[in-house]
Amino acid sequence: MTLHIKTPLIHSRALSLASGRKVSLKLDALQPSGSFKLRGVGFACETHKRNGARRFVTSSGGNAGYAVAYAGRELGIPVTVVVPQTTSERAKSLIRGEDADVVVHGISWGEANEYALSILKEGDAYLHPFDDPLLWEGHASMIEEISRETERPDLVICSVGGGGLLAGVVEGLGRVGWNDIPVLAVETDGANSYDQALKAGKPVAIPKIKSVATSLGANKVAARAVELAREHPIQNCLVTDAEAIQGSVTLLEEHRLLTEPACGASVAALSRVSELYPDAQNVVVIVCGGVGTTSQQLLEWSEFYGPGSDQIAAGHPDAVNTHASQ
Q: What is the mean pLDDT of residues 23-30?
A: 98
Residue 88 falls inside a structural domain: yes
The mean pLDDT value for 121-141 works out to 97
State the DSSP code for 37. H
Helices and strands (H and E) in the chain: how many: 14, 10
Residues 166 and 256 placed together within one structural domain of the fold: yes
CB of 246 closer than 8 Å to CB of 217: no
Looking at the fold, whether 245 and 303 belong to one and the same domain comes out as: yes
Q: Give domain status of residue 122, yes or no.
A: yes
Residue 1 within a domain:
no
195 assigned to some structural domain: yes
Pairing of strands 155-159, 183-188: parallel
Mark whether 118 and 223 lie in a shared domain: no
User: Which residue from 205, 274, 255 is spatially nearest to 14, judged by alpha carbons?
Assistant: 255
Asked if 156 and 206 sit in the same domain, the reply is: yes
Does 299 lie in the same domain as 180? yes
Indicate if 184 and 249 belong to the same structural domain: yes
Number of residues assigned to the chain: 326
For 188, list phi and psi in degrees, rounded to 5: -90, 160
Domain boundary among 75, 102, 129: 129
pTM: 0.93
Let me know whether 68 and 162 are in one domain.
no
CATH classification of the domain holding 55? 3.40.50.1100
> CB-hemisphere CA count at 13 Å for 169?
30
Q: Are residues 151 and 171 in the same domain?
A: yes
Per the domain annotation, does 27 fall within a domain? yes
Whether 323 is in a domain gets the answer no
Rounded to the nearest integer, the mean pLDDT of the chain is 93
Q: How far apart are CA 142 and CA 288, in angstroms?
A: 11
The residue out of 112, 129, 146 marking a domain boundary is 129
pLDDT band at 251 (very low <50, low <70, confident <90, very high): very high
Give the burial class of 213: count Cβ atoms within 10 A of its Cβ; 0-12 exposed, 13-18 middle, 19 or more buried: buried
For 210-233, how does the pLDDT look when each residue is reduced to its tens digit (9 = 90+)?
Answer: 999 988 888 899 999 999 999 999
Residues 291 and 250 in one domain: yes
Q: Which domain holds residue 121?
A: 38-129
Please report which confidence band the pLDDT of residue 52 belongs to, taking 50, 70 and 90 as the band edges.
very high
Q: Is residue 3 part of a domain?
A: no
Average pLDDT, integer, range 301-308: 78
Reply yes or no on whether the pLDDT at 247 is more than 90.
yes
Residue pair 63/40 in contact (Cβ under 8 Å)? The answer is no
Q: What are residue 56's DSSP bridge partners?
A: 79, 125
Helix (H, G, I), strand (E, B) or coil at 239: strand
Helix 37-50 × helix 164-175 angle, to 10°: 80
State whether 237 and 298 are in the same domain: yes
Domain boundary among 129, 156, 181: 129
Q: Which pLDDT score, from 0 to 100, does residue 1 have?
A: 83
DSSP 168: H
Our count of domains for the chain comes to 2
42 plus 30 within the same structural domain: no
Question: Is 116 or 61 the better-scoring residue by pLDDT?
Answer: 116
- Nearest residue to 216 via CA among 197, 183, 191, 195: 191
102 inside domain: yes
Strands (E), the chain: 9-11, 22-27, 55-59, 79-83, 101-104, 124-127, 155-159, 183-188, 234-239, 282-287
DSSP state of 315: G
For residue 321, is pLDDT > 70?
Answer: no
Whether residue 84 sits in one domain with residue 149: no
